[in-house]
Amino acid sequence: MSRPELDERRPGESRPHQRQPSERKPPLYTLTRARILEFVREPEALFWVFAFPIIMALVLGFAFRDRPPDPLAVGVVEGPAASAISQALEKSGLVKPRMYPDREAGLHGLRTGKITLLVEEPDGTGPVYLFDTTRPDARLARLEVDAAIQRARGRTDPSPARVVLIQEKGSRYIDFLLPGILGLNLMGTGIWGVGFSIVNARLKKTLKLMVATPMRKSDFLLAQMLSRFIFLVLEVGIILAFGVWAFQVPIRGALWLLGLTTVVGSVTFAGVGLLVVARARTLEAASGLMNLVMVPMWLLSGVFFSSERFPAAAQPFIKALPLTALNDALRAVMLEGSGLAAIAGPLAVLAAWALVSFAVALRIFRWQ
């Protein structure tokens, strides 16, 4: 009977049991493919990759549909001058009056957000405005209402102004918002997609089984990052197509540069996802950590409003966040038509996050 001998053979030399040669695929390829197949065969996961951007786009479409701004709702308290005020406001067309029997009812309307400002004139000595000064729309309503009332009572403007309306594509809020949504989506799917699959594989001991083979750990982690490419086309494609089609959001820079930015961004967030769950043992721990990482970036990284609003002292920190870098690069390419040189900074920040996350995750990763 032949037995395996235990001599000083080097790996790769022929062994007593001739291993049958067979076509061996590169492990990075098989791992990446396995990850992609696993994902596309998961109906829920697919649903969310499609549904999230579509829902986002629909909500945006509703919020920014192409029609003149709604008139501001304003409350008027019943009184001797009430009907004259109401008529004046109605005539201005910029605010929409609504009658309240007394001040208490009007204040209730204000508190519940039905109106932005309340007008009252109890004694004929001039109107009284009740509103919250921290609300920009309330301050705007005060100006419009006051102008309408004063004009109705005979005020004439010494030098009447003319108004020119501008709706330039690229300078609207939707133009600012769409790249932010794109960045947000790349971060979310990157971190969630990688995070949950890793923790699941760890819980089911699939990871442990793999480390019992000669598989290179770096191949496994790299495959997690590379497999993000395939979903990129879906996610980015849907959001961009909708933005361009429904809102004519401009893409002023080169498409390849936009592609490069999204690829770098998605690989980076897959790497951050790996790092976040590198040691998490349970799904609960993992989702807590993922939120801990993502929620600050939702707020700080200029998704819904510019990150410039935060104090100057915080700017270096905010600029170093991967989502800030991604959003800045996406806006530069889409809105300003920047070239590669102009976005090299943010791309470098992203690449640094990707490399550091990968390297640290590889070191501290819990395989079992």
Residues found near another protein in the complex (CB under 8 A): 1-6, 11-12, 15, 17, 19-27, 29-31, 33-34, 37-38, 41-42, 201, 204-206, 208-215, 368
Q: Which is nearer to another protein, 7 or 66 (CB)?
A: 7
One-letter amino acid for residue 48 of the chain: W
User: Please, what is the minimum distance in Å from the beta carbon of residue 197 to another protein?
Assistant: 9
Instruction: Give 130 or 210: the residue with its C-beta nearer to another protein.
Output: 210
> Closest approach of Cβ 220 to another protein, in Å?
10
Write down how long the chain is: 368
Question: Could you tell me the smallest distance in angstroms from the CB atom of residue 210 to another protein?
Answer: 8
**Among residues 38 and 146, whose Cβ is nearest to another protein?**
38
47 or 256, CB closer to another protein? Answer: 47
C-beta of 108: minimal distance to another protein in Å?
55
Looking at the Cβ atoms of 19 and 65, the one nearer to another protein is: 19
Between 65 and 363, whose beta carbon lies closer to another protein? 363
b (16+ CB within 10 A) / e for 312-340 = eeeeeebbebbbbbbbbbbbbbbbeebee
Beta strands 95-100 and 72-77 are parallel
- How far apart are the C-alpha atoms of 349 and 368, rounded to whole Å? 32
The two structure tokens encoding residue 343: 């976005």
Q: 209 or 255, CB closer to another protein?
A: 209
| Closest distance of CB 71 from another protein, Å | 54
Minimum distance, C-beta of residue 250 to another protein, in the bound complex (Å):
40
CB of 279 to another protein, least distance (A): 17
Question: Least distance in Å: CB of 283 to another protein?
Answer: 15
Is the Cβ of residue 12 or residue 101 nearer to another protein in the bound state?
Answer: 12
Nearest-angstrom CA–CA distance, 163 and 69:
16
**Phi, psi values for residue 253, rounded to 5°:** -85, -175
How far apart, in whole angstroms, are the C-alpha atoms of residue 267 and residue 353?
10
Query: 20 or 134, CB closer to another protein?
Result: 20
Signed CA dihedral, 311, 261, 227, 49: sign only: positive
Give least dist CB 223 to another protein, A: 10
CB distance 85 to 121 below 8 Å: yes
